[in-house]
Amino acid sequence: MRTEPPAQAGAAPTRLLLFQLISPALPVGAFSYSEGLEVLVQQGRINSAEALHGWLAAELQRGTLGVEAAALAPLLQAMAAEQWSTVHDLDGWLLALREAPEVRAQQRQMGRSLTQLLGELGWRLPAVAGQGAAITSAASASAQGLAWPAAWAWAGHCLGVPSTDLVEAYLYAWVASQISAAVRLVPIGPTQGQGLQLRLAPLLAQRAAELAHTDPHTMWSGGVGAGLAQLGHAELYSRLFRS
């Protein structure tokens, strides 16, 4: 399978292509999800920058996010080798780790949007498991679907991003999205949010370096609180976010 970049992207440094991937302008709908943060704010459990810092640090260290990040390198390897059954096995396993239906729907929607975007920009979309031909239409991609972590790996594969950089960007994008949600939920202001992103940068880099060389199947998620918050989101009387 060939995944040459479009002519306009061919000469661009990899880091610039990665910047585009983590840009808030990426049209995948990340802004509409809080992944349970809205529940924690309404419960009063996250009501300050310090409380949010503790929550985000705990998720970086022990949450399902880490398992997903660790799976990016194996996904990249499988895609490079055209081992699509392995890709879809990992994709399904990662999706099953998410307890809340809302979060599973989020992962499917964001993954579908990203693979469709890549296809429309000139990259062929992932192959159907068990078949040799790549998906070439947006409709086929939507029907097949890769969830968000596997779609992110596919983007990294198409852009030629090294696995460590891709893992780091995955964690960074999640932290930035959570901080953006927190600012809109009002427990912190924009300046506090930027301060949090800076404070978390060393931990984020450390975790990325570790997870890029960790077998995801040897890991476990200690994010029980996150899972409960995500499950509780559907029961909120009023909601700003979809998860």
Q: Domain residues of the chain, as ranges?
A: 33-234
Cα–Cα distance measured from residue 124 to residue 141, given in angstroms and rounded to the nearest whole number = 10
- Kindly report the CA angle at 44 between 41 and 50, in degrees rounded to 5? 80
Tokens for 204, please give them.
Answer: 């984020």
Closest CA to 85 of 116, 127, 124: 127
Over residues 207-227, the mean pLDDT reads 90
Give the pLDDT of residue 126: 53
Give the pLDDT of residue 138: 38
Q: Are 124 and 85 in contact (CB under 8 A)?
A: no
Give the pLDDT of residue 3: 56
Q: What is the value of pTM for the model shown? A: 0.90
Give the pLDDT of residue 131: 44
Give the pLDDT of residue 159: 92
- For the chain, the average pLDDT equals 86
* 101-135: pLDDT as tens digits: 999 999 999 999 999 999 998 887 655 543 444 44
CATH, range 33-234: 1.10.4190.10
Instruction: Return the DSSP state at 220.
Output: -
